[in-house]
Structure 1
């Protein structure tokens, strides 16, 4: 029997709801959006995840439950409450320069939450995997642009194309270049001297993997096991 109460996919999903609630409760977003509805809907999601905790179903069976469908519907309701498909753009456009750094961090936390919930069914479909890395998505991306970090000479700021979306990743590998094919762990956002990083490149011995195989936006192929060690630790830290 699979112990669903210890399934990392559910643990990270529940923690991502908490992250979302904190981000929205403390936010001062400008524009047309329904804060009350967003918060109320997110709070309902916790009870659906708790139901899955005590289901003791196989992961592939959990993926077919009404709770998963309801979580996906609730995530879509939250997007509508935030202002619709381009919700994050309106908040950025209405923010002044002094507000943008904190705003970008809050928006990144919301994106992480929405991605965690929307990708839950696919991660559950992978079956019985007792490893923290299964709690988040790892996808193949392509570097679309690279720039120096404005406040740190030993960091680069990369825009990464994941096919369905783009994200920002801060890295200390100064050899990374445009068009590199990378593996990205979509982790809880972290701020590096004013720049919010939405994930981490997988690498070995401090060097980013730059010729990753597979389809853009999908799980990369042939990743060395030790390349996910740091991701595993970061997921565990997030859950503490």
Structure 2
């Protein structure tokens, strides 16, 4: 019997709801959207996730539970309330340059929440894996551009195509355009005003730069030690 009460995928899903609720309270999300309704939709996700905690069924069966579809429907309602598929561009268009930097971090956190909920069934379908790393998505990305961080010579800011373009901040100064990388889609972190939406996987000599797999898909043949830092990050996020 699978111990669903300690399944990292469910734990991080609940934590992502909490992150979302805290984010919308403090974010400068202007425009016509109903904060009270969005807040309530997100809160209604929590008992559904918690009911899955105590189901004690195999992950493959968890992925097919009615709560999964209900969570997806609620995520869809939040996106609709925000203005549809391109909701983030609407919010960004309504702020000035100074406000935009802070808002980009909030938008990245909201995206993390939505992706965590919408892809929960795919992660559960991976089976009974008792490892924090299974709680997040890991994607193959192609580096579109890499440039110096405006506030730190020791960091690079990369635009990475994972079937959408995300920003990743790295301390590997050898990373360059066209490198094929593995990106752990961790909760966003701000590095001196630049929000990183994930972390490159690496082992030994820095970031893995020639990863196998389709862009946006799961990488193949990743060394186990390359997962350690992301694994620790997931555990720390769940414990907060």
TM-score by length of 1: 0.98
Partner of 2:185: 186
The structure 1 segments of at least 4 consecutive aligned residues displaced by more than 3 Å after TM superposition are: none
How much has 1:206 moved relative to structure 2?
5.4
Separation of aligned partners in 2, 1:30 and 1:50: 32
Determine the C-alpha separation between the residues in 1 that align with 2:198 and 2:27.
22
**Is the 8 Å Cα contact of residues 173 and 206 (structure 1) preserved in structure 2?**
no
2:197 counterpart residue number = 198
Alpha-carbon offset, residue 181 of structure 1: 0.5
Q: How does 1:1-240 map to 2 (within 5 A)?
A: 1-163=1-163, 165-205=164-204, 207-240=206-239
Show CA shifts across 1:123-150 (max 9, x none): 0000000000011100101001111111
Q: Deviations over 1:199-232 (max 9, x none)?
A: 0000013500000001111110000000000001
Contact 1:169 1:199 in 2 (8 A): yes
Q: Matched residues in 2 for 1:139 and 1:71: separation?
A: 23
Question: Partners in 1 of 2:55 and 2:11 — Cα distance?
Answer: 14
SS in 2 for 1:143: strand
For the residue of structure 1 that corresponds to 2:93, the secondary structure is: helix
- Alpha-carbon distance change, 151 to 206 in structure 1, aligned in 2, over 3 angstroms: farther
Larger displacement relative to structure 2 (169-178 or 98-107): 98-107
The whole-number CA distance in structure 2 between the counterparts of 1:166 and 1:25 is 26
Structure 1: gaps of 5 or more residues: none
RMSD after superposition: 0.8
Q: CA deviation at 1:34?
A: 1.9
Tell me the distance in 2 between the aligned counterparts of 1:228 and 1:28. Answer: 34
Do the aligned partners of 1:7 and 1:130 also contact (CA within 8 Å) in 2? yes
State the number of aligned residues. Answer: 239
